[in-house]
Chain A
């Protein structure tokens, strides 16, 4: 075909990517908004290594060409990710849009990226030069700036299997469907034998990159619920100081108030 190649395996996809004049095409739902007459697309929907959803002993591994609908229909996918993905846009977009595209857009509004941040997921990137795995938090360098080399592709997301059951998720958009996030929040709390084993919180859509401060969450880790209550003020104060939302169509004040409200609600719902 002219101006396009449908890769049939990862090796082929990486060779074409290395050529440098093809734009990776996941679902097309972001790419096709700006109609570039001269674009050449590298279609990735037939690359088997990017279409798998498998499980190993530590991770659920989600291929980056998996569509949102495929993610929703797969029994291996944790409920937290399903909840976020089910609120993306509308069915037709979910049928086409991919996890790789959602991350590759580089936006803090990406609903699945928020979940990967809060769960400390990893990304497997590949190029003709080899592979590397890095935490998603190291992948985002700034607004729409990714630590992705020109010859690399996102192959899969490695989402830790454990500790995802007790979660909190809220997305606020302009309306109940077909809405881009204005504020989003995801949190995990893992308690066993009275001790907080893990606490993870992250905010989407309010800053240039998903806002994740494991150092704040660390204030609560290893504590009992009682001890955590004593830490609550410092914890909230740390967020209050550090979280500076961007002013956009929606005011920074609104975003800040809602973020802090949701954070407090998450703590209170868990008895802190």
Chain B
């Protein structure tokens, strides 16, 4: 029987991965597809640095085996940063200098997207729940929460 690769949509493009179904999505994105914006902080699903969107939902790519993404859509920060919504978040994060060392940021940005697409005008509590799986050691979270709030105010109906 001929083994076909694992085909899925990566940042809007149809791709095929010829490796094993038990390979880690995080490793494949970084090493095979050279998408190093997806960071590795722990490889145990505890920090959120490796966050991607899997069929539009926030997922820790270190916890996903390649077989799981067959026929799914995966979006990384590289793909997301080309969107209009990203521009709003970019301005908001910049306005409050929410980016310090930057390692948590790709994950935080994708988490921000998920918060706002679930609710374009979230409460602070909802924002904090939405980023509760993304650890940040630099900012104390206040600036990131503020940035997401600003994005929700200036979203201009994008969400």
Residues of chain A touching chain B, judged by Cβ–Cβ distance below 8 Å, are 1-6, 25, 27-29, 31-33, 35-41, 43, 45, 69, 89-93, 95-96, 176-178
Contacts and interface: CB of A to CB of B under 8 A. Distances in A.
Contact of B133 (A27, A41, A178): A178
Contacts of B4: 1
Contacts of A35: 24, 43
B57 interface: yes
Nearest to A2: B20
The 4 closest A-B pairs by CB, nearest first: A4-B21, A90-B133, A4-B67, A177-B132
B48 A3 contact: no
B120 to A, nearest CB: 17
Interface in B58-91: 58-60, 62-68, 70
Given A3-B20, A28-B63, A31-B65, 18 more contacts: A2-B21, A25-B65, A25-B67, A25-B68, A28-B68, A29-B45, A32-B63, A33-B63, A40-B22, A45-B68, A90-B134, A92-B45, A92-B51, A93-B45, A93-B60, A96-B54, A177-B132, A177-B133
Contacts of B129: 91, 177
Contacts of A41: 21-22, 65, 67
Contacts of B114: 91
B154 interface: no
B105 interface: no
Interface in B9-26: 19-22, 24
Contact of A32 (B57, B62, B70): B62
A28 B59 CA distance: 11
Contacts of A27: 63
A167 to B, nearest CB: 22
Interface in B107-135: 111, 114, 129-130, 132-135
B133 A3 contact: no
B46 interface: yes
B136 to A, nearest CB: 12
A5 B57 CA distance: 23
Contacts of B24: 32, 35
B5 interface: yes
A26 B135 CA distance: 25
B31 interface: no
Contacts of A91: 58, 111, 114, 129-130, 132-133
A89 B133 CA distance: 7
B64 A32 contact: yes
Given A32-B45, A91-B58, A91-B130, A1 B63 contact: no
B35 interface: no
Nearest to B44: A33
A36 B63 contact: no
B6 interface: yes
A87 B111 CA distance: 18
A82 B66 CA distance: 29
A1 B59 contact: no
A92 to B, nearest CB: 4
A262 to B, nearest CB: 24
A92 B64 contact: no
Given A1-B5, A4-B22, A177-B132, A93 B63 contact: yes
